[in-house]
Amino acid sequence: MADAQRAAGIRADGISKRFGDFVALDDVDLAVPSGRLTALLGPSGGGKSTLLRIIAGLDTADTGTVVIDGQDATRLPPQRREVGFVFQHYAAFKHLSVFRNVAFGLEVRRRPKAEIRARVHELLELVHLTQFADRLPAQLSGGQRQRMALARALAAEPKVLLLDEPFGALDAKVRKELRDWLRRLHDEVHVTTVFVTHDQEEALEVSDEIVVINHGRVEQVGSPNDLYDRPANEFVMEFLGPTTRLDGRLLRPHDIDVFADAAPGTVPAVVQRLQRVGFEVRADLRRTDGDQQTFWVQLTPGQVETLDLAVDTPVWVRPARRAAVIEPALT
């Protein structure tokens, strides 16, 4: 984009927040590098939206400090934090046209009319809503409304862009397209962006860095590959994708090698059920030694054919060499 947005980082230190007896955030530290796209990932009610709202100033923390772009923002009201905020349900100004919605942040700052017009048109072009400038939000589809909200948030050139489950209200197909688009938009605009999601696929696909939050605590911080390959604990591993248990160890069902004959380190098992879902085959297995433990393996149709698998076929299995494994906790 022509006007380079100032890249800025966010620091939140020792953030705690309670709603009555419920602990939403428990002494959370967060550092968002400038110019990056960071995902706050976690289950509903885990505190990630609260953290985002505290950064924006829409909620206040009981304890802790928020620093945006090197400036202490802990006590600043949201209107002075220079953040762009995008809500899950768009929060469109229904009585204003798309143009006036996007212009809002500039109008309240009393920018010159010509400057507002130019800037709004530039943004409408960026989100491809130019031809809808005179429509009311009610005349837009959900995806268009959210793009309008994004343009509106970017209009006053915020230091950081905060998105609270931005695609949560959209249907699956539009959600996927918009998230790809957000990634490319960010590559163009480079504004420090934090977005909240409970969809691990969304976080893995879009973000530079993921912060996994659960029960008001940060479970792990890292790049998508870091988190997937080296999960810090069972929660992170289970939240980022399917898991199964072999010998008490938690691992991914695609990280189990299956053999037709015994091999070093393998254990015997028998196929109980084969279920094909698109390009993957889910094989439910039961060990034929020890405690007859059941587990499942993710295979391709090709592997099933090569191994000549069917119900009651005996097989030998072992964890793949580079499998991400969480060892059973010592009790």
**Which residues form the interface with another protein (CB under 8 A)?**
56-58, 77-85, 87, 89-96, 104-105, 107-109, 126-128, 135-145, 147, 149, 152-153, 155-156, 169-171, 173-174, 177-178, 180-181, 183-185, 187-188
Whole-angstrom Cα distance, residue 138 to residue 98?
10
Q: Rank residues 42 and 84 by Cβ distance to another protein and give the closer one.
A: 84
φ, ψ dihedrals at 50, nearest 5°: -60, -40
Complex with another protein: residue 42 or 143, whichever CB lies closer? 143
Of the two residues 161 and 250, which places its CB atom closer to another protein in the complex?
Answer: 161
Looking at the Cβ atoms of 149 and 309, the one nearer to another protein is 149
- The strand pairing partners of 287, in sequence order, are 269
CB count, 10 Å around CB of 3? 9
SS3 category, 83: strand
Residue with smaller CB distance to another protein, 67 or 274: 67
**Minimum CB–partner distance for residue 29 and another protein (Å):** 24
User: At its nearest, how many Å lie between another protein and the CB of residue 193?
Assistant: 14
Burial (CB < 10 A; 0-12, 13-18, 19+), residue 289, is exposed
Tokens encoding 57? 């100033």
CA distance 122 to 102: 11
Using CA atoms, how far residue 292 sits from 246, 259, 275, 295, in Å, is 11, 18, 21, 10
Residue 273 bridge partners (DSSP)? 284
| DSSP annotation of 200 | H
Q: Quick one: 105 or 231, whose CB is closer to another protein?
A: 105
Distance of closest approach, residue 83 Cβ to another protein, in angstroms = 6
Cα Rg of the chain (Å, integer):
24
Angle between the 98-107 and 142-155 helix axes, to the nearest 10 degrees?
A: 20
Residues 131 and 228: their CA atoms lie apart, in Å, by: 42
- Token pair for residue 220? 């792990």
Q: How far is the CB of 128 from another protein (least distance, A)?
A: 4
**Smallest gap from residue 322 Cβ to another protein (A):** 26
Least CB distance to another protein at residue 150 (A): 12
Between 91 and 325, name the residue whose CB sits nearer to another protein: 91
Q: How far is the CB of 222 from another protein (least distance, A)?
A: 20
Q: Toward another protein, which CB reaches closer, 187 or 291?
A: 187
CA distance 30 to 160: 14
Of 140 and 240, the one with the shorter C-beta distance to another protein is: 140
If you write DSSP's letter for every residue of 244-301 in order, what string do you get?
EEETTEEE-GGGEEEESS--TT-EEEEEEEEEEETTEEEEEEEESSTT--EEEEEE-H
Q: How many C-alpha atoms does 210 have within 13 Å on its Cβ side?
A: 30
